Amino acid sequence: MAGPIKRILIADDHDAIRRGVRTLLESRADLRVVAEASSGGQALNAARETTPDIAIVDYSLPLLNGRELTVALRRELPRTEILIYTMYDQESLILDVLRAGARGFILKSETEDHLLAAVSALSVHRPYFSAAVPDSLLEQFLSTRPRSGSGALTRREREIVQLIAEGKINREIAELLDISIKTVETHRATAMHKLNLRTTADLVRYAVRNHIVEA
């Protein structure tokens, strides 16, 4: 007898990728896409409305990137499994999303079989990691969990760094996050101090280098 249908959210800012993933998943009778989103903010709202079993999340999402979306989903919907689906395979990024709570990680360059295998594993709450994730990295995460420089930022600081790098001014950031301009300025100054950055251009370069935003 077939098991229950697993409900999926797809969050990616490229329409073609969302369409391709949806078509692939819905070729399986036990999978149903219940929501799509093109930004992290849309994805979080959609997840709140649909409570998916699995969220397939691109790392480089606008407004709220894949790492911050993972943190928010783990906090609000702890039973939703998160699969990071990205083109980036840097070890620092992989550690970042593991620390945030993702239990699946595959590359967009891998075959469709890998994506289906990852969804199948997460649907029964088993982790699934691309072969691009070395065993030594998983062991490092499980045993020592060292903190990277980017991990030293708080969730709010990372949100503000991302929005600044996306070209938003303080007033726009304050409106988006529903906080005061003074609070934005304080978080911005604290983040720049922690990262030892001096200018907005330095902050943008940092955000691109660490894939908080796309170049």
pLDDT tens for 102-120 read: 989 999 999 999 999 999 9
Domain boundary among 119, 143, 167: 143
The alpha-helical segments, DSSP class H, found in 80-179 are 91-100, 112-123, 135-143, 155-165, 170-177
Residue 15 and residue 121 in one domain: yes
39 or 96, higher pLDDT: 39
pLDDT exceeds 70 at position 141: no
Q: What is the mean pLDDT of the chain?
A: 87
58 domain-assigned: yes
Residue 133 and residue 90 in one domain: yes
Which whole number is the average pLDDT over 6-22? 96
CA atoms within 13 Å, Cβ hemisphere of 157: 17
pLDDT exceeds 80 at position 125: yes
Between CA 34 and CA 32 the distance in angstroms is: 6
36 domain-assigned: yes
18-22, 127-131, 145-149: segment of lowest average pLDDT: 145-149
Residue 72 and residue 130 in one domain: yes
Residue 180 and residue 136 in one domain: no
215 domain-assigned: no
Between CA 131 and CA 147 the distance in angstroms is: 23
**pLDDT for position 3:** 67
Residue 77 and residue 109 in one domain: yes
Q: How many domains does the chain have?
A: 2
Which whole number is the average pLDDT over 68-81? 93
145: left (phi > 0), else alpha (psi -120 to 50), else beta? left
pLDDT-based confidence at 39, cuts 50/70/90?
Answer: very high
**pLDDT for position 21:** 97
Domain boundary among 106, 125, 143: 143
Residue 165 and residue 122 in one domain: no
Spell out the residues 6+ positions from residue 196 whose beta carbon is closer than 8 angstroms to its own. none
pLDDT exceeds 80 at position 31: yes
Give the residue numbers spanning the domain of 50: 6-143
99 domain-assigned: yes
Spell out the residues 6+ positions from residue 127 whose beta carbon is closer than 8 angstroms to its own. 103, 104, 121
Residue 133 and residue 161 in one domain: no
Residue 91 and residue 173 in one domain: no
CA atoms within 13 Å, Cβ hemisphere of 80: 29
Which whole number is the average pLDDT over 189-202? 83
Residue 31 and residue 135 in one domain: yes
215 or 188, higher pLDDT: 188
1 domain-assigned: no
Which whole number is the average pLDDT over 143-166? 71
